[in-house]
Each structure stands twice: as structure tokens, then as C-alpha cells.
Amino acid sequence: MSKGTKYLAKEPDENGFIHYTDEEHDTWKQLYARQEVNLPGRACKEYLDGIEKLQMPKDRIPQLSEIDSVLQATTGWKTAAVPALISFGRFFELLATKQFPVATFIRNKDEFDYLQEPDIFHEIFGHCPLLTNPSFANFSHTYGKLGLAASKEERVFLARLYWFTVEFGLMKSSSGDLNIYGGGILSSPGETMYAMSNEPEIQPFDLLSVLRTPYRIDIMQPIYYLIESMDYLDEIVKMDIMETVKQARQLGLFEPKFEPKAKAS
């Protein structure tokens, strides 16, 4: 999480207000308009319910205080303004205290379809609606506490659990259809359509398998893991996650389902 970035986060003023340019607001407006069309029938009901609760503006970047007022009232969470990328330690510390890190920049328009770094559209539009859901919020809180207590080596494996659930998770709807709950998909027009196509491999969620699955952040995901419902996150919380991390470390990773990243010449 603490790698190089070309983006610079916006600093709040003395009143906690973050100033954005008209162009940045227009980027939010265009991203919102694109995903508003893509998500019905694809995003899970709990996410769409969260969108309704947040009532975030469609034509401008929301202030974090607007989001916080809803999150605090529903699940006791709030956002925390952070630089573009933060350390694992800081990330886990925030989640463990029910604060969701939000990078306060917005992507350039040449990275509309997919962004490696988490921008404010990814964090607010992709993740915050589900933080109004008790199961999702509890899973995120538990994950933060586990990560805070974990070793550096254990955190590498825990990162895969977050990746294949909170970021790129799929679930079944009440009618048995495929739905999206991962914020990395929900905030990406390109990956939303890709995830619901016949291209990726979809496997039922298995904690040990998830912890052993490699991933790359700069490509469309070749594999997604499917949970039965949002309530299943409560079941994951009850599992002995750290014991399973130990097993995963002993067994090692699966063979990657992607080509290795080309080295810069």
C-alpha cells in the first residue's frame, strides 16, 4: 500500500473543507454518470441501498463530512483523509478504529476505466455505500484489528483476503444471480462489465484458497471469489483467520493465473 504514486492528495483547509477544481468535479460527474448506468442489476442490493442512504452528490465531489454524517448514524464509522497510498500499519490502524481511509485526489481522465491507486471516487463511491451495512462494516473492523496485531509476513497473506472480498468480491443475489460487492469493481466501469462477462474464472469462496491466490493490481482480475450472501461475511469473521494464514504460509501460493509483470527496461 505504500508504493510510488503520481497523484497528490488534497489537504483540507482550517475548516476541514477540501477545495476541488471545476475539472475535478467534472471528472466525478462523468464517473458517477457512467457507473449509475452500469450498476443496476450488477451491484448487490446492499450496495444500492447504501447509495440511497448516502445521497452523495452526482455533480461534484462530496465533502467527507457529508459521508461521515451517514456512516456515523448507521454503523459508527467515519472517513479519514489520507495521502494517495499509506502503509499497511496505518491502514490496519484506521480500520481497527472504524475509520475508512480516503485518498483525497481524483483520477485523471485518461485513467477512467481502471486506476491502480485508490482515488476519492474509488473510496467514496466504491466502498462507502457498503459501510452502511452492518455485516460489511463488522468484517472491515475485524479485519483491521487482525491486521494491526499481525506480523509483516502475515499481513501479506491478509492482504489477499481484503483483495478478494472488499476490493474484488462477488456474491449471489437472493434470486441466485451474480452480483458485485467489491469496491474495486464497483468504481471501475471497465471492470464492472468484465467481471459480469464470461471471461474471468469464478470460484466459491474458500478462505485457505483465497489466502493462497496471487494477484496483480494493474490488470483485470483473472479470478474472483463468490460468497453466498452479504451475511456470509459474518461467517468469515467467525473463522480462525490467523490459523488459516499460518496454513497458507506453510502451503505456499498457487500458480498465478496471469503473466508476470514486464520489467521496465
- Enumerate the domain spans of the chain: 22-246
Active-site residue, selected from the candidate residues 24, 167, 188, 191? 167
19 assigned to a ligand binding site: no
Closest by CA to 70, choosing from 49, 90, 84, is: 49
Residue 122 a catalytic site member: yes
Instruction: Judge whether 165 and 233 are in contact, CB under 8 Å.
Output: yes
The SS3 call for residue 74 is: helix
Neighbouring-strand partners of residue 171: 179, 227
- Note the residue count of the chain: 265
Residue 187 a catalytic site member: yes
The SS3 call for residue 202 is: strand
Active-site residue, selected from the candidate residues 46, 93, 123, 127? 127
- Residue 168 per-residue DSSP state: T
Dist. CA 145–CA 237, nearest whole Å: 11
pLDDT of res. 113? 66
What is the maximal distance between C-alpha atoms in the chain? 52
Residue 167 a catalytic site member: yes
Per-residue pLDDT of the chain (265 residues; tens, 9 = 90+): 445 567 888 988 998 899 999 999 999 999 999 999 999 999 999 999 999 999 999 999 999 999 999 999 999 999 999 987 789 999 999 999 999 999 999 998 777 766 678 899 999 999 999 999 999 999 999 999 999 999 999 999 999 999 999 999 999 998 889 999 999 999 988 899 999 999 999 999 999 999 999 999 989 999 999 999 999 999 999 999 999 999 999 999 999 999 888 765 5
Number of separate helices (H) and strands (E) present in the chain: 12, 6
Closest by CA to 188, choosing from 113, 130, 124, is: 113
Closest by CA to 25, choosing from 116, 117, 130, 120, is: 120
259 assigned to a ligand binding site: no
167 assigned to a ligand binding site: yes
Active-site residue, selected from the candidate residues 46, 122, 123, 154? 122
Residue 19 a catalytic site member: no
Dist. CA 149–CA 162, nearest whole Å: 16
User: Domain 22-246: which CATH class?
Assistant: mainly alpha
